Structures are given as C-alpha cells and as structure tokens.
Amino acid sequence: MKWKLPNLELPLDGRPLVMGILNVTPDSFSDGGNWADPGAAIARGLELVRQGADILDIGGESTRPGAVPVDETAEAERILPVVRELAGCAGVPISVDTRHAAVARAALAAGAAIINDVMPFAGDAEMAAVAREFGAGLVLMHSFGWMATAGKASAGRVTVDEVESALREAVEFAVSSGISRDSLTVDPGLGFGKDTVSNLEILAALPRLAKLAPVLVGASRKRFVGEVCREPAAALRDGGSVAAALWAARRGAKILRVHAVRETRQALEMVAALDAAGERLTDV
C-alpha cells in the first residue's frame, strides 16, 4: 500500500507515518504565535524533521473552537514563505492544511505535495480540480459543524455512522472528479464539533473507516484528550496524545498527525521492538 503524491509514493504498509504539525498562526489552540514568524517556523519545521517527522503539515488558519475564519489572502501570506523554503530543504513532503483552493494551488506551486482539506469540497468546491491538476495527495477530513460554530466553542454527539457516511461521500466525489484513489486518505476529524464520547467511539471504530481509504488520525492535544486525562492545558497533553496515537496505530491508522514528533516516534519504535520480541518467543 502506498500514498501517491507528485513524483513520490509514500509506503503505508510499515509503521505509521508521522506528520509533524507546524502552525504559522497567532491563535492555534496549543502553540498559537510560537511559529508565526517565518524564520521561526522554518527552523521549527527542520527541527521536527530531525525529530523524525515523515511529513510536515503547515497551517495558516486556526480551526480551534471559537477561532475566527481567515481569508485566503492572509492565509497565503502566512504560509507561502514557509512552504517554499521547507519544500526546498526539509527533505520530506510538505502538506498544506487549508480549506481554500487558491491557497492550496499556491502552496502546491511553491513545492507542497499534499492538501489537508479540513472541509472536503464544502469549504471550496474548486479543491478537487486543484488536487487533480497537481496530482496532489489529498486528506479528506470530517469537520462536522466547524464553520457553523465559528466564533464559539461547540461540540455535540456525532456517531461513527455519520462520520463513515460523510467520508464515503467525500471519497466517492473525489474519485468521480478524476482524483486517483491512491492519492486519498481520510481523517475522522477528531475534535471538530464532536464531544468526548464521540471522539473515543470514532477512535475505537477506526477499522471501519480504514475500509474507505488509508486513515490519518490527529488526536494530538485535542480537548477530548484533556477531558479524559483531566489536563486543561493543551501543551501538557502529550502523554495522552501519544497513547491515542498508539491506539490508532494498533487499529489501522497509517498517518499520525502530532505535535510531539520525537515522543511519538519513540513510542512507535518501542512498541515495534516489543512486538518483534513477542513474535520471536512465539516462534520458539
């Protein structure tokens, strides 16, 4: 199994790929403002690669509960210098986290290889055409209610059936639009309009979603992790986030979108070593 990108195919049949989060925003829920300066963002991206990131996901618009939407011009101004530089020197594929087709097009022209569409085709109907034109990898994320609740925090009950149905429709639309199925991954959109019970049930049901396309999971530092672990500070939720990532990997997730790249890589490598030891004992 491989993820088809422009001039590259990423293997998806080994350990999960680790996608490092790089927010160049002033208001993201965990690290807003830390990397808003392009120079700082570029340095952070290179550090994430040194820590073991297989992909860098660059975002210029916060999607936290209560965030104010950003227009595409401002978003592009934030991300393009960072995308352009890292695409030339990071040595890993660059993903752009956006709902705007114009931003995706500019980022792909600047060297990005993946569109992480946080509102598959609903945010911008031209996104499918952009993905097809560039042969980009495309992440289709379920984002129930995000735009409807922009400006206020809101989360409710969302069933696995609803997520599965919406993602199936997104995949079918993408394929009918001429996008290669091998270019697609799906993301259940943990935290986007979903309460804690919903998020936990969705994680438990990942094998169902994996039948649609390779699954990307982004649990890192989300509110539901804080609620389960009784940790109000987003930046202090890495322990729970790594546990969620390992659970997701066990249930078929192929890409893990995380803040704590080093810790996630170490956890995956440790589990792999333990699995190998167990298999050796079984073979004796």
- Give tens-digit pLDDT for 225-278: 999 999 999 999 999 999 999 999 999 999 999 999 999 999 999 999 998 898
CB distance 241 to 28 below 8 Å: no
The pLDDT assigned to 192 comes to 85
> Does the annotation count 254 as an active-site position?
no
> Does the annotation count 222 as an active-site position?
yes
- The pLDDT tens digits for 137-170 are 999 999 855 444 443 456 788 899 999 999 999 9
What is the reported pTM?
A: 0.90
Q: Look-up: residue for tokens 């890993």?
A: 92
Q: How far apart are CA 112 and CA 36, in angstroms?
A: 19
In CATH terms, the superfamily for domain 15-283 is Dihydropteroate synthase-like (3.20.20.20)
Using the predicted structure, report yes or no on whether residue 64 has a pLDDT greater than 70.
Answer: no
The pLDDT assigned to 37 comes to 84
Residue 180 exposed, middle or buried by CB count within 10 Å (0-12, 13-18, 19+): middle
- For residue 149, give both structure tokens: 């609740």
Residue 181 exposed, middle or buried by CB count within 10 Å (0-12, 13-18, 19+): exposed
Q: In the structure, how many helices (H) and strands (E) does the chain have? A: 10, 10
**Residue 96's pLDDT band (cuts 50, 70, 90):** very high
Residue 263 DSSP code: H
Out of 4, 221, 257, 265, pick the active-site residue.
Answer: 257
Residue 179 exposed, middle or buried by CB count within 10 Å (0-12, 13-18, 19+): buried
HSE (side-chain half, CA atoms, 13 Å) at 172:
6
Instruction: Give the C-alpha distances (Å, rounded to integers) separating 200 from 80, 219, 235, 236, 278.
Output: 35, 10, 20, 19, 28
Element (H, E) at 132: helix 127-134
Out of 44, 222, 254, 265, pick the active-site residue.
Answer: 222
